[in-house]
Amino acid sequence: MADAQNTEGRTLTPAFVHEPVMLGEVLQSLDLACGDVVCDCTLGGAGHSVKMAAQIGADGLLLGIDQDPMALAAASERLDREAPETPHRLLKGNFGNLDELLCQAEVPGVDAFLFDLGISSPQVDIPGRGFSYHEDAPLDMRMNDEEDTLNAAEVINTYTEADLTRVLRTYGEEKYAARIAREIVRRRAKEPIATTGQLVEAVKAGIPAAARRHGGHPAKRSFQAIRIEVNHELEVLERGLEAAVRWLNPGGRICVISYHSLEDRIVKRLFQDLSRGCTCPPDLPACVCGHVPVLKVVTKKPLTASAEEVERNPRARSAKTRVAEKL
Ligand SMILES: C[S@@+](CC[C@H](N)C(=O)[O-])C[C@H]1O[C@@H](n2cnc3c(N)ncnc32)[C@H](O)[C@@H]1O
Ligand SMILES: [Zn+2]
């Protein structure tokens, strides 16, 4: 597919060229065998999946889930071309509904799960999707833009000031959440905020000038927050991980790559909770809590990308990879 050009003439990423993050580490920790059933819950451009498919071979089965039809189309073509011998089944949907998706796939269990969270490079780079604070585009930010669900413009123009503050504070960890929310409400009273450019301006105006000069792009945290709200990213993550652990076969592994602390905290807590046995006080004669560990945490500390990878692919800088094994 031809490269898209933005208004400054810079060449954007061609459709679904997305460099897989921590590929070596993922393959090593999943430790796949011929014949395994693998579920990639965030298929994207199939960057990880083509390699996993090669490892499980003709007797294996690769399931690929994505809610973005553009990603599925690109991944399907790539898998047919680069891993034609491995059976694969692609499923359109949200990994928050993993139970239904896996029932559709009619598999008894899964040997390995991968979650590579967030959005892919092409999703950020295509201005029409409204994810980027570098391009002026309609405020959308839905990963699945085929469904008639709440988009970013509706969040920005209809949420109360208190709700906007909560979203910016909890999902963006934005110190100036209240000031930014006030500025959004003030501006939208005159005219609706319809584009990413208008949102960037409102966010900038809400942050004190001195604070605007450090810590990266001033709208980064707010855009992250709105995106999480629009796509319910944290709720679906928790649901998806819980379901994945249930579907994992004994000895099977789950690997999660997250890109910000809110996601990483959810993964870390869930792995810890599910790996804990009895939590009764030691002086109780018998267990009353009934907790039985179902996971073993493989990575006590999250794995991070090598300096070389970060140099080559800046997206890898914030990546944290956690791995657990089903008991
Ligand atoms: C970081 S990209 C994955 C890239 C892929 N690992 C690769 O190397 O090509 C994340 C993908 O997951 C999808 N995604 C994010 N959250 C999702 C969810 N809750 N349900 C289904 N797909 C999701 C996005 O649409 C995106 O295509
Ligand atoms: Zn107990």
Percentage, residues of the chain above pLDDT 90:
81
What number does the ligand 1 atom closest to the CA of 20 have?
Answer: 8
Q: Record the tokens describing residue 214, joined without a space.
A: 């450090």
> What's the CA gap between 273 and 218, in Å, rounded?
35
Same domain? 78 vs 143? no
H-only helix segments in the chain: 23-30, 47-56, 69-82, 98-105, 121-125, 152-158, 161-172, 177-190, 196-206, 209-212, 220-231, 233-247, 261-275, 307-312
What total number of domains does the chain contain? 2
Q: Is residue 4 part of a domain?
A: no
Q: Record the tokens describing residue 65, joined without a space.
A: 């889930």
- pLDDT single digits (tens) 16-32: 678 999 999 999 999 99
Same domain? 221 vs 142? yes
The pLDDT score that the predictor gives to residue 15 is 52
Q: Is residue 14 part of a domain?
A: no
DSSP strand pairing (320-326 vs 248-258): antiparallel
> What's the CA gap between 179 and 103, in Å, rounded?
46
122 lines ligand 1 (CB under 6 A): no
The average confidence (pLDDT) of the chain is 92
Same domain? 214 vs 262? no
Q: Is residue 18 part of a domain?
A: no
Beta carbons of 99 and 27 less than 8 angstroms apart: no
Q: Is residue 307 part of a domain?
A: yes
Lowest mean pLDDT among 100-109, 128-137, 278-287: 128-137
Q: Is residue 8 part of a domain?
A: no
Beta carbons of 85 and 57 less than 8 angstroms apart: yes
What number does the ligand 1 atom closest to the CA of 233 have?
Answer: 19
Same domain? 43 vs 191? no
Mean pLDDT, rounded, for 198-202: 97
- pLDDT single digits (tens) 32-88: 999 999 999 999 999 999 999 999 999 999 999 999 898 999 999 999 999 999 999
Query: Which is it for the CA torsion 303, 307, 309, 312, positive or negative?
Result: positive
Phi, psi of 128 (to 5 degrees): -60, -20
> What's the CA gap between 321 and 125, in Å, rounded?
24
Strand partners, 254: 113, 324
User: pLDDT at residue 3 above 50?
Assistant: no
Out of 184, 217, 232, pick the residue that ends a domain.
Answer: 232
- pLDDT single digits (tens) 238-263: 999 999 999 999 999 999 999 999 99
Same domain? 248 vs 280? yes
Q: What is the dihedral of CA 313, 314, 320, 324, to 10 degrees?
A: -20
Q: pLDDT tier at 8 (50, 70, 90 boundaries)?
A: very low
Mean pLDDT, rounded, for 256-271: 97
Q: The domain containing residue 194 runs over which residues?
A: 128-232
> What's the CA gap between 325 and 268, in Å, rounded?
14
User: pLDDT at residue 325 above 50?
Assistant: yes
18 lines ligand 1 (CB under 6 A): yes
Which of 66, 102, 317 should be mutated for ligand 1, with most atoms under 8 A from CB? 66
Rounded to 5 degrees, what angle do the CA atoms 135, 136, 142 make? 85
Tell the residue number behind the tokens 């914030």, with chain if given. Answer: 318
Mean pLDDT, rounded, for 199-226: 92
Residue 11 is given by DSSP the state B
From the list 261, 220, 218, the residue with the least C-alpha distance to 117 is 261
What number does the ligand 1 atom closest to the CA of 144 have?
Answer: 25
116 lines ligand 1 (CB under 6 A): yes
Q: Ligand 1 atom 22: the closest Cα is on which residue?
A: 66
Q: Give me ligand 2 centre to Cα 326, in Å.
A: 20
Same domain? 226 vs 240? no
Q: What is the CATH number of the domain that holds 149?
A: 1.10.150.170
The pLDDT score that the predictor gives to residue 14 is 47
Q: Is residue 227 part of a domain?
A: yes
Q: Is residue 7 part of a domain?
A: no
More confident residue, 326 or 142: 326
- pLDDT single digits (tens) 91-118: 999 999 999 999 999 999 999 999 999 8
Contacts of 276 (CB under 8 A, 6+ apart): 291, 293
42 lines ligand 1 (CB under 6 A): yes
The pLDDT score that the predictor gives to residue 38 is 98
Q: What is the CATH number of the domain that holds 259?
A: 3.40.50.150
